[in-house]
Amino acid sequence: MKKYLWLLLITVSLSCQSHTKKDVTKLVVFISVDQLRPELLTQFDDLYTGGFRWLIDNSVSFTNVYHEHGYTATGPGHFVLSSGQYPGPVGVIGNNWYDRKLKRVVYCVEDTTATVVGYPGKDRSYKNINTTALGDWVKARYPSSKVYSVAGKDRASIFLGGKHPDLALWYNWQGDFVTTDYYTKSNPQWLIDFNRNLNVLSYRDSLWTRSLAPEVYEKYARRDNFPGEMDTYLTVPYSPVFPIGFDSSLTDSDVLNDIGGTPWLDKFTIELASTIVDQEKLGTDDNPDILFIGLSATDWIIHDFGPFSQESMDHLIKVDRYLGRFITDLDKTVGLDNVLFVLTADHGGMMLPEYLKEKYNIPAGRIKWKSLHAAYRQALREIDKRYGDHDFIVFEGLGFYYDINILNKRSIDKAVISGILKKYFEKVAGVEKILTKEEILRATPEDEIVFRMKNMINPVMSPDAWILQKRDWVYRFPYGTGHGTPYDYDAHVPLLVHMEGMKNEQINDRIATVDIAPTIAKILGVDPPPFVDGEIIKEFAGQQ
């Protein structure tokens, strides 16, 4: 009898230990900060006192994390973070691309069968993506789990949320956070109340001012009124300086749209995230819930002013405070020991070319679109001279799309067409080379830059040739900066992971962003699907 009692006690003990370990993670808060270079966390580290401070001090920081796909843009980046797959083979080949069948440009999350529920907006969903993501895997394992996604950009929220979240929400650039009937037939009352109280137009007379003394910005960032920055307020004379507001000449529609270039959009997003936690009771039972948060204003602000501007510095200081309040609220409602935090980015970004020249003496520059189109006209003239017409080629974005049926019908060698494009485009200042699809597919890991582009290729959908710009050159003229290249400054992103019981440390192992989603799944006791490209990050391999 004693023997059986002892075995029973051991069984109960092990069961309790297993149950306790599962219960540690009741809520995953997955934060993606659009265009966040890792240096933006370290350079302003001394100034953070809120959410960034807490995450930096209480997380494992992975310092050597890269997107390993070649077109580092918002759509592909968020898809990778949530799906653990490279974007090209699945068909996420950019934010926009030319569809040969439809003969028009398509948007990565457009859905012509969807309708925005209750508000103005555009048709958007995950419908056309033929795969699943982290939230779907978790809901398959824990049917009672809840998955919510919110972001400023529709593509950020939709790609993070996956195929079947409970709800994906985004800003419609008209004053409301919205969703479509792909996700729900009616808006929850808390969303209606949130939008009613948002009142974005009340910010028309507001000024974006610095949070700290001006001399602090001079110490940690570059000087204000730096050449190459966008001037978005009181633009005559050219003076990109604080404070920043909305010119009186702007229409209401302009203000509702341009709020995206201010810290207020991320403030709204974080407040809505907090509302979701409260109203949907996330993290309050034994089924792990997921809340995805996409902070999109960072991207707009860095595009306008560059990553080390006083504007981007101030924005991140404000986001630090917004996140601090959010984390404090989570501690009260869920308990931080029950929350798994992930903070990363969909891509990095390039410094202003003017800053690269001044500070580092790097021969950076700006590619002029008029120069690209002049090269295209020259190429078309030669193509017309040889073949009588150029109706088999479309130039969209940075890609060239051929109509293979026409080429075959006329016995035109597409290698010849690509050669003509190379002849003219590779003379344009800032263009490194024209790469054909075949050249990209032949790339080996030794050629890291082109090999990353290989992970963007879809055999059917991708362009037949692609413009690769020179390192430290950007397609914005004459102001602002960008991203989208396979170079490290666009591919390198931060990764902070906090979960109860893990010590605060830095880890320098090389990690790909496709590893993040399957690792979170593993922590939650979910086996990632066999089709994912990522691997379990070894520091978490024993977690469950």
pLDDT tens digits for range 13-53:
333 333 334 447 999 999 999 999 999 999 999 999 999 99
Bridge partner residues of 77 (DSSP): none
Are both 205 and 290 inside the same structural domain?
yes
| 231 and 244 Cβ atoms separated by less than 8 Å | no
Q: What are phi and psi of 75, to 5 degrees?
A: -60, -60
Q: 13-17, 106-110, 243-247, 314-318 — which is least confidently predicted?
A: 13-17
Are both 143 and 111 inside the same structural domain?
yes
* pLDDT score at 20: 38
Residue 211 lies inside a defined structural domain of this protein? yes
Residue 350 pLDDT > 50, yes or no? yes
| 485 and 476 Cβ atoms separated by less than 8 Å | no
Residue 16 lies inside a defined structural domain of this protein? no
Are both 289 and 412 inside the same structural domain?
no
Mean pLDDT of 487-506: 95
* pLDDT score at 544: 57
Residue 178 pLDDT > 80, yes or no? yes
Q: What does pTM read for this prediction?
A: 0.94
Burial of 144 (0-12, 13-18, 19+ CB in 10 A): exposed
Question: Residue 422 maps to which CATH number?
Answer: 3.30.1360.150
- At which of 443, 469, 495 does a domain end? 469
pLDDT digits (tens, 9 = 90+) for 427-462: 999 999 999 999 999 999 999 999 999 999 999 999
pLDDT digits (tens, 9 = 90+) for 414-427: 999 999 999 999 99
| 540 and 511 Cβ atoms separated by less than 8 Å | no
* pLDDT score at 540: 86
Non-local CB neighbours of 17 within 8 Å, separated by 6+ positions = none
The secondary structure of 192-221 as a DSSP string is HHHHHHH-GGGGTT--B--SS-HHHHHHHS
Non-local CB neighbours of 82 within 8 Å, separated by 6+ positions = 30, 133, 134, 135, 159, 160, 161, 162, 292, 517
Are both 38 and 176 inside the same structural domain?
yes
| 167 and 148 Cβ atoms separated by less than 8 Å | yes
Are both 175 and 200 inside the same structural domain?
yes
Residue 8 lies inside a defined structural domain of this protein? no
- CA–CA separation, 107 and 94 (whole Å): 8
Residue 502 pLDDT > 70, yes or no? yes
Question: Residue 271 maps to which CATH number?
Answer: 3.40.720.10
- CA–CA separation, 130 and 83 (whole Å): 11
Are both 62 and 82 inside the same structural domain?
yes
| Domain total of the chain | 2
* pLDDT score at 163: 98
**How many helices (DSSP H) and strands (DSSP E) are in the chain?**
21, 18
* pLDDT score at 3: 38
Residue 4 lies inside a defined structural domain of this protein? no
Are both 320 and 458 inside the same structural domain?
no
Mean pLDDT of 529-533: 97
* pLDDT score at 135: 98
Residue 7 pLDDT > 60, yes or no? no
Residue type, 508: N
Are both 149 and 174 inside the same structural domain?
yes
Query: Which runs of E-coded beta strand occur in 13-120?
Result: 27-33, 60-66, 96-99, 104-107
pLDDT band at 539 (very low <50, low <70, confident <90, very high): confident
* 3-state SS track over 81-108: HHHCCCHHHHCCCCCEEEECCCCEEEEC
* pLDDT score at 542: 67
pLDDT digits (tens, 9 = 90+) for 92-147: 999 999 999 999 999 999 999 999 999 999 999 999 999 999 999 999 999 999 99
Q: Is the dihedral of CA 91, 94, 96, 100 positive or negative?
A: negative
Are both 255 and 141 inside the same structural domain?
yes
Q: Which two tokens stand for residue 82?
A: 């949530």
| 29 and 277 Cβ atoms separated by less than 8 Å | no
Residue 175 lies inside a defined structural domain of this protein? yes
* 3-state SS track over 142-197: CCCCCEEEEECCHHHHHHHHCCCCCEEEEECCCCCEECECCCCCCCCHHHHHHHHH
Residue 12 pLDDT > 80, yes or no? no
pLDDT digits (tens, 9 = 90+) for 188-223: 999 999 999 999 999 999 999 999 999 999 999 999
Whether cis (ω within 30° of 0) applies to the bond prior to 237 is: yes
Are both 455 and 496 inside the same structural domain?
no
The secondary structure of 277-303 as a DSSP string is HHHTTTTSSSSPEEEEEEE-HHHHHHH
Are both 332 and 279 inside the same structural domain?
yes
Residue 354 lies inside a defined structural domain of this protein? yes
pLDDT digits (tens, 9 = 90+) for 249-291: 999 999 999 999 999 999 999 999 999 999 999 999 999 999 9
Say which residue, 282 or 501, is predicted with more confidence.
282
Alpha-carbon distances of 337 from 50, 109, 280, 506, rounded to whole Å: 18, 35, 20, 20
Mean pLDDT of 486-495: 98
- CA–CA separation, 95 and 162 (whole Å): 16
* pLDDT score at 13: 37
Residue 244 pLDDT > 50, yes or no? yes
Bridge partner residues of 150 (DSSP): 169, 293
Residue 476 lies inside a defined structural domain of this protein? no
- CA–CA separation, 353 and 491 (whole Å): 18
Q: What are phi and psi of 256, to 5 degrees?
A: -60, -35
Burial of 483 (0-12, 13-18, 19+ CB in 10 A): buried
Alpha-carbon distances of 378 from 364, 384, 393, 435, rounded to whole Å: 26, 10, 14, 19
Residue 41 lies inside a defined structural domain of this protein? yes
Average pLDDT, the chain: 94
Mean pLDDT of 473-481: 96
Nearest to 229 by CA among 246, 242, 210, 215: 242
For 374, the domain range is 368-428+431-469
pLDDT band at 543 (very low <50, low <70, confident <90, very high): low
- CA–CA separation, 485 and 216 (whole Å): 32
Are both 64 and 145 inside the same structural domain?
yes
